[in-house]
Structure 1
Amino acid sequence: MMVQKLSGITLLLLLCQHACFLSASHKKSLICEGGSAYLSCDSGYIHVLNANYGRTDRRTCSTGRPPAQLSNVHCFEETSLRTMTVRCNGRKSCSVSAVNSVFSDPCPWTYKFLQVSYECRPLKQSITCEGTKSVISCGKKGVIAVHHANYGRRDLGTCPDNFVTRSDCYFTQTSSMRSRCNGKRTCDLDASNSVFSDPCRHVYKYLEVTYSCSQCMSR
């Protein structure tokens, strides 16, 4: 019964989030295979709407390419959206290489391109360095609705450490944090391996949470 209640609260909050962000302007990025897509928000945080690494027409990224590399226009990498979401959601900016090693190869011998559409959402952000605790709160402004959460490391500048050499530790905790925090006015955060396990050993990590304060559940 409690699980059903939490699921209902989460669904309602997500619907409220969607309604609040309908007016956000969409941005697009297109990059040919081998290049890097750069997404950025001057205000707010990235929320990826759609993404595909493949080929859907013969003209895009076709200069200098033989017809055989352009003929397959039904090339879709089904995990493209998840890849972009994990790497970019909840960040001010992100760069993702349009290469097979990131997205895998949905159509060998076809020259591909990455298409991404996204919007900049007016969210709050909390960063909790590994081994510390913090609290996110909406006070009297509503209840928490988690947008995205990651426990790992997506850049070198956050929670800096002299021994940090990698920034590709993606361990999405969005569902977990929604179960913990959605519908509450305050929520305790504990950035530790005992809570989230260790997605990348010997890397100093941090818990990154972007959220909004929804009025839908407030009284």
Structure 2
Amino acid sequence: MDSYCFRLSAVLLLAATGLLLTAVSDSVDRVTTCDNNVWQVHRLYCDRGVINVTGSLYGRSNSLVCAEGKSHKRLANTKCSQQGTVDKVKTSCNGKKSCELGLSDFRTPDPCVGTFKYLQTNFTCLEAITVVTCEGSVAHLYCGMGRVIDIYGADYGRRDKTTCSYRRGPHGLKNITCLQPTPLVAQMCNGRFSCSVTASNAVFTDPCVGTYKYLEISYACKPPKVSHQGVLQFGVHSINMDSYRSRLSAVLLLATTCLLHAAVADYVDQVTTCDNNVWQVHRLYCDRGVINVTGSLYGRSNSLVCAEGKSHKRLANTKCSQQGTVDKVKTSCNGKKSCELGLSDFRTPDPCVGTFKYLQTNFTCLEAITVVTCEGSVAHLYCGMGRVIDIYGADYGRRDKTTCSYRRGPHGLRNITCLQPTPLVAQMCNGRFSCSVTASNAVFTDPCKGTYKYLEISYACKPPKVTHQGVLQFGVDSI
């Protein structure tokens, strides 16, 4: 039945006039940066989805743009443009949630000496799935419902000091200008239902030796292409459509049922991290919503996973698992948008000496409301329309140097490993219409003295529970 549903779904997707195509923003955003100083920065950002550059100009095409305080002579040339600007911006920004470029990258050679110039970019935001995978781990890309992978962008390297940084020394994180675009992921994955890519120097070459890197991928799931001969293209596979067209109307209802069934099924993401070195990092991330761990294993359950370069003897034991792994991962990650764990936290005691192990986690992303409240402030949680609060996760402490940092000295921000999970928010707020929680040591105790902390809460608004006796449960009250 699953195979039949898939074939019917593929037909329906092609016949449904693009209703299930990946959404594209109708509006075009524009960013204009006047070239006022040497270090001027041009920044593009998508609140949802990833960047798709439609046009870019460094020079001048309008006498009114960036004109304040400039003489007529410096604004008169409106046919000034630097060659290759749009390609450079596309290479740097397409497929990313945000990107920054220095105008110094566009000034040489000067396209129009004496004219005051600017960098102006038009872009849209494409709906996309984003995957960030630490070096040594495997990125798993997957599309269901008879759709195939379409890569928007892929980069390997590093562009910040926080991603894939769990317990890493500063030396391995200091180069943050080496995230390089790569066409390899598109070549490997485009047109396929699923694809696995290892984030490693062996695959992508090393853009910055000595730096611990990661792989960023953004992609969409789209209907397979139809050739001029009416053949469905699924990567290296194809299906002739002629035999399906005459039966489309007869099976439309069943196909729709299959699609709806697939649409409500939970999508499970998977991250696999091979235990290659002492400081290996396992990273989970939800582009939307928060993490809900459904399973996790440290050990080995499959002889083919993380097998490259390993002897048969080190892969033979496929019944190896560390006790308590899933509980540890759930405690660290549930209810967060992203989380990082070190494999060093799972190695002792060794569950199977001599076997090469890996950490593999399955998780879904739950739609959630996220609240971050600085120490000394009050978090207000609220649900309307007869729904009540359901806490997914709450943590008090600090895990970065930027959140709740305004005008704070570096001493109060330096401990970024003290964000601790707390059950108190769930105990206080679950089942209520609204709830207020003070982010303070008096409520949660102090996980790191001398550090300025904050409270992170993720929750959903759900219908109140009904007991077997037909009683509505509202927190501590009932009706």
Please classify the TM superposition score into its range, dividing by the shorter chain length. Answer: 0.7 to 0.9
2:140 equivalent in structure 1: 135
Describe how 1:24-173 pairs up with structure 2 within 5 A. Answer: 24-33=26-35, 34=37, 35-97=40-102, 99=103, 101-105=104-108, 106-160=111-165, 161=168, 162-163=170-171, 164-173=173-182
Q: How far has the Cα of 1:45 moved from its partner?
A: 1.4
Q: Residue 118 and residue 210 in structure 1: after superposition, are their counterparts in 2 closer, same or farther (change >3 A)?
A: same
Distance 1:81 1:170 in 2: 19
SS, match of residue 108 in structure 1: coil
Distance 1:156 1:78 in 2: 33
Describe how 1:165-204 pairs up with structure 2 within 5 A. Answer: 165-173=174-182, 175-204=183-212
Check conservation: 2:25, 2:126, Cα contact below 8 A.
no
Distance 1:194 1:186 in 2: 21
1:13 equivalent in structure 2: none
Q: Deviations over 1:68-125 (max 9, x none)?
A: 432332221222223222332222223333x2x2223333332210111111111001
**Structure 2: runs of 5+ lacking an equivalent:** 1-17, 226-233, 240-479
Distance 1:94 1:116 in 2: 12
Q: How far has the Cα of 1:207 moved from its partner?
A: 1.3
Distance 2:138 2:158 in 1: 17
RMSD across aligned positions (CA): 2.3
Q: Return the structure number with greater relative CO, CA threshold 8 A, min gap 6.
A: 1
Distance 1:131 1:197 in 2: 13
Check conservation: 2:22, 2:220, Cα contact below 8 A.
no
Give the percent of matched residue pairs that are identical in Structure 1 and Structure 2: 34
Give the structure with higher Rg (CA). 2
Q: Residue 86 and residue 205 in structure 1: after superposition, are their counterparts in 2 closer, same or farther (change >3 A)?
A: farther
1:3 equivalent in structure 2: none
Q: How far has the Cα of 1:171 moved from its partner?
A: 1.9
Q: How far has the Cα of 1:138 moved from its partner?
A: 1.0
Residue identity matched to 2:98: S
Check conservation: 1:41, 1:120, Cα contact below 8 A.
yes
Residue identity matched to 1:86: T
1:8 equivalent in structure 2: none
Distance 1:145 1:114 in 2: 29
Distance 1:138 1:176 in 2: 19
2:477 equivalent in structure 1: none
Q: How far has the Cα of 1:23 moved from its partner?
A: 5.2
Residue identity matched to 1:184: R
2:385 equivalent in structure 1: none
Q: Residue 61 and residue 201 in structure 1: after superposition, are their counterparts in 2 closer, same or farther (change >3 A)?
A: same
Check conservation: 1:30, 1:113, Cα contact below 8 A.
yes
Q: TM-score under structure 2 normalisation?
A: 0.39
SS, match of residue 118 in structure 1: strand
Check conservation: 1:147, 1:212, Cα contact below 8 A.
yes
Q: Residue 83 and residue 154 in structure 1: after superposition, are their counterparts in 2 closer, same or farther (change >3 A)?
A: farther
Number of matched residues?
A: 199
Check conservation: 2:96, 2:153, Cα contact below 8 A.
no
**Structure 1: runs of 5+ lacking an equivalent:** 1-15
SS, match of residue 180 in structure 1: helix
Distance 2:177 2:116 in 1: 26
Q: TM-score under structure 1 normalisation?
A: 0.79
